[in-house]
Amino acid sequence: MNNIMINVGIVSRLVFLLLPLVGITLWFIYDGGIGFGWNLIWYWISIIGFLLLYQLALLLNLMLQHKKKGFSKENKIFIIIGLILLFLAIVIFSNKL
């Protein structure tokens, strides 16, 4: 049991990355379905907007803490994960148009 260590920073960042995405999806499903048309377009715009805000906040955090601690492994991991999700959202959005 001691070999398995869960880093609280990674878990909390993963929750703050995935929970709003799930919330946006559930809101659009509750609001009448994602479907096609304007609901689908606004769904992807809100997903891409959230991912952009997440990346900006993460980069700001990285710049502020760079002088103190340097680049942490968690920051690098979540910048890469966020950029991959942002790229996938943009690709899917452009294919739906």
Q: What residues does each domain of the chain span?
A: 8-96
State the CB neighbour count (10 A cutoff) for residue 89.
19
Question: Tokens standing for 60?
Answer: 């700001």
Query: How much is the pTM?
Result: 0.71
Q: Using CA atoms, how far apart are residues 84 and 70, in angstroms rounded to an integer? A: 23
C-alpha gyration radius of the chain:
16
pLDDT tens per residue, the chain (97 residues)? 445 566 777 777 788 888 888 888 888 888 777 777 788 888 888 888 888 888 888 888 777 777 777 667 777 787 888 888 888 888 888 886 6
On whether the CB atoms of residues 43 and 72 are closer than 8 A, the answer is no
